[in-house]
Structure 1
Amino acid sequence: MHEQVEGGFGAWYRRHRWWADPLGMALLSVVMAWFGFRGIWGPFSILQEPVSPWWSLALALPACALALVKRRLPVTVLVLVTLLFVVDLVTVGGIGTLVVLLDVLWTASFLAGPQGRRVLLIVLGLSTVVLFLAAWLFTDVSLAVAFLIGVQFGAIFGTDYWWAVAVSQAHELAELHRQRAEAAAAVAERDRAEAVQRERETMARELHDVVAGHVMAMAIRAEAALSTAPDRTADREALQAVRDAGLDAHGALRSMISVLRRGDGTLAPTPRWADLGAIVQEAERGGLVVRLVVDDVDDLGAAREQAVIRIVREALNNCVRHASGADVEVGIRGSSAEVRVEVRSRGGVASRAAVHGDEGWGLQMLRERVGALGGVFAAGPVAGGWSVHARIPREVTA
């Protein structure tokens, strides 16, 4: 309850301090006059006779009124209040204008920029020197007393200035840290979004490259068996191929689910050269006639080797779907600078089991994969068939 009361008063004060502070200083000036404070700057007074302390309000109250707009016009208010203080210094000698001057000096120093603060510091230094000289040359005090007066004024106004600058710099530092924290949070959020997008793209590639291929193989083998006359041996071979493709798809799905649930394992076995023969055999079981030519492609590196195998697999899967029974030539040739992959089909007919809606996804993924390796990918119709062609530069070794 006590904390709530303090919080409520503090919030109220922060909202209304623009008039609460001047009002408080005005009340302080009245109290000081009532107690009879006057002539505290006696050596500087030009009056022949002491005057009533209530005359100090003639200068203090206008200074308090000017303090109402100190945040909107800090420099103007500082100059005007300084003039009122100087008049008070050489006449009544009250304390009200000094309090207001310290307040508006603090505000001006707090709101000023680096250049403005340097100007204020110079002005404060010069004012202290002028006050010392005035006390020494134009009053009857000794040099030591004049020096003490200068030191006192310099200490009072210098401390006020230092305090305002320290608070302002602390606010600036806090704002800088806030901006850096917001920037770091924005970068972290962007990195998180990019990581999620990369994971989605990885899952999409794996689903297309592995699961979708196996499922389509199942549909094509089943459709091929249904489109011919019943034959026990051929039908059992088709069923076995469907079963094998189903088990492969099931295994790939289980590994992907394991990654999604627990974050462990790998999405799918990484394709290697050893898988190339099985990929060709699977295409031949799907009704293609495949001729494979591999020449001088040693030491490609894992990423380029995987890209080559995936290009061959996707191209052959497309032939099974869209050119069943086609003659397909697969060429993988390398040189000292690059490896070239070409899959070209002739003839064939589209399978009725081929689905529509994902046309171009596999080719687009291959284009992105090859582009990431600095290569060039192209696919399109040629005379009598279709061609997929890729050129991948070899990995540069130090």
Structure 2
Amino acid sequence: MGFVNPRYNSLLVALAYFAGGVLLYALDLGVLVEDRPPQPLWVWLVLLACVCAPMTMRRTRPLLALLLGTVPVLVDLVVGPSLPVWIAYGDLLYAAALFGSARTSRFLERAPVVPIVVGAVALGVYFGELRIAVWAVSIAALVIVVPIWWARSVRTHRDAAEIERARAEALSRVAELDRRAAITTERQRLARDLHDVVAGHLSSIAIQSEAALRLRESDPDRALTVLESVRSGSVAALQEMQSMVRLLRSDDTDDEITTAGRLADLEPLTASARAAGTSVRIDGRPPADLDAEVDLTAYRIVQETLTNAVKHAPGRPVTLRFDDTDGRLGIEVVNPIGDADTAAPSPARGAGHGLRNIAERAAAVGGHARSGRDGNEWRTYVQLPLAKRSTT
């Protein structure tokens, strides 16, 4: 009856059991014990109606329905057991075991065994015939035990299905959270790359263009050199943007590196800084066999620190130091600064994203970074593993 409104299911079940019982009485198949005094038909019908009426609560209040149905069943035992009453009572037992609480269902599974056995033995002793005991056990098993065990089986399968459904929903939620986390991580990575490629190059171009404008009258040759550096920076920015766009359009999901960049290719970065009037001194050499992602991370960090130095402390020398000890690459960038409010990088002056990107990039490969004022110097120190940290 799955197509019927659930509110009317119980009523239809009660009417079906009552109609079936009336048919059994009409066919003279309702009486179980022939040697009892015959009862008027209306007595059986009243008892059957009293058992069927609580069925209207078989889903909503199954235990109460079972208790109410037990009263006419006991009366039926006294006046003479009838098959329709006990068949209807079996449905109340079924509903209580299926729709009742877990505790009620477990109790009903065990409770009938002892009373059935004791009652069958008592009947056998009273009548002096083993046949009576066997008959009583068979009838009780048919109308009492079978409905309860059937309901327990249905309930077990239903509970298992609910557990699987809940597990599937939990897995779906976890997958959705993983998807969102992956999207967020990818957006953050793209934001860092866009900041490095666009903001770094454009900041350098803006500063160098301003220097070229100042030098066009006093030192045309140097202004020309600066403009050549501006062009080189513009071309480099365009190439990196094109590389990024190609990778974004590519279907290859295994490539985790968005744009090229290696510590071995620092010359364009230092040349751009020198063209803007910032001298760069390099102490030490980075290892030549760095992991590709660590190499790119170090390159981007150096690019960001040089951009910050040119932007916030123009004309002041920068010292770039490399060392590799204990399996880690150390990068230190130091430049003199003047008053902290005018020369030091700060979020208000546009360096907030850059400093955060430095820290995020270092952490992404298992390293760490710190930046801040140290006396009259701005110092950025980064430590990175020589090999990318395993994520498995």
TM range (shorter): 0.7 to 0.9
Q: Distance in 1 between matches of 2:9 and 2:259?
A: 70
For 1:381, the aligned partner's letter is R
2:19 matches 1:27: yes
CA contact (8 A) 2:120 2:132 kept: no
Query: Where does residue 5 of structure 1 map in the other structure?
Result: none
Match of 1:11 among 3, 27, 40: 3
Secondary structure of the structure 1 residue equivalent to 2:332 = strand
Q: Distance in 2 between matches of 1:339 and 1:107?
A: 72
Q: Distance in 2 between matches of 1:357 and 1:21?
A: 78
Secondary structure of the structure 1 residue equivalent to 2:351 = coil
Q: Distance in 2 between matches of 1:95 and 1:375?
A: 81
Query: Where does residue 138 of structure 2 map in the other structure?
Result: 151
Q: 1:64 to 1:178 in 2, by over 3 A?
A: same
Query: Where does residue 319 of structure 2 map in the other structure?
Result: 329
For 2:155, the aligned partner's letter is S
Q: Which deviations, in whole Å up to 9, do the C-alpha atoms of 1:84-140 show, x marking residues without a partner?
A: 223313414333321221110001111345543342222222233134224312336
Q: 1:195 to 1:396 in 2, by over 3 A?
A: closer
Query: Where does residue 70 of structure 2 map in the other structure?
Result: 82
User: Runs (4+) of structure 1 moved beyond 6 Å?
Assistant: 348-351
Q: Distance in 2 between matches of 1:248 and 1:270?
A: 11
Normalized against structure 1, the TM-score is what?
Answer: 0.84
Q: Which deviations, in whole Å up to 9, do the C-alpha atoms of 1:371-392 show, x marking residues without a partner?
A: 3455442222344342222244
Match of 1:313 among 303, 325, 334: 303
For 2:14, the aligned partner's letter is P
Q: Please tell me the root mean square deviation across aligned C-alpha atoms, in Å.
A: 3.1
Match of 1:273 among 263, 284, 307: 263
Q: Which deviations, in whole Å up to 9, do the C-alpha atoms of 1:176-233 show, x marking residues without a partner?
A: 1211111111111111111111111111111112232222222222211112234554
Q: How do 1:42-121 and structure 2 match up within 5 A?
A: 42=34, 45=36, 49-121=37-109
Q: 1:348 to 1:279 in 2, by over 3 A?
A: farther
For 1:370, the aligned partner's letter is A
> Deviation of residue 251 (structure 1)?
1.5
Q: 1:268 to 1:130 in 2, by over 3 A?
A: closer
CA contact (8 A) 1:252 1:268 kept: no
Q: 1:342 to 1:10 in 2, by over 3 A?
A: closer
2:244 matches 1:252: no
Query: Where does residue 199 of structure 1 map in the other structure?
Result: 186
User: Which structure 1 residue ranges, 5 or more long, are not aligned?
Assistant: 1-8
Identity %: 29
Query: Where does residue 170 of structure 2 map in the other structure?
Result: 183
Query: Where does residue 201 of structure 2 map in the other structure?
Result: 214
Secondary structure of the structure 2 residue equivalent to 1:250 = helix
> Deviation of residue 10 (structure 1)?
4.0
User: Which structure 2 residue ranges, 5 or more long, are not aligned?
Assistant: none
> Deviation of residue 20 (structure 1)?
2.2
Question: How many matched pairs?
Answer: 382
Query: Where does residue 174 of structure 1 map in the other structure?
Result: 161
Q: Distance in 1 between matches of 2:308 and 2:22?
A: 96
Q: Distance in 2 between matches of 1:189 and 1:235?
A: 55
CA contact (8 A) 1:326 1:348 kept: no
Query: Where does residue 294 of structure 1 map in the other structure?
Result: 284
Q: 1:225 to 1:23 in 2, by over 3 A?
A: same
Query: Where does residue 362 of structure 2 map in the other structure?
Result: 370
Q: Distance in 2 between matches of 1:16 and 1:148?
A: 37
Q: Distance in 2 between matches of 1:358 and 1:229?
A: 28
Q: Distance in 2 between matches of 1:216 and 1:204?
A: 16
> Deviation of residue 294 (structure 1)?
0.9
Secondary structure of the structure 2 residue equivalent to 1:193 = helix
> Deviation of residue 145 (structure 1)?
4.5
For 2:308, the aligned partner's letter is N
CA contact (8 A) 2:323 2:329 kept: yes
CA contact (8 A) 2:293 2:388 kept: no
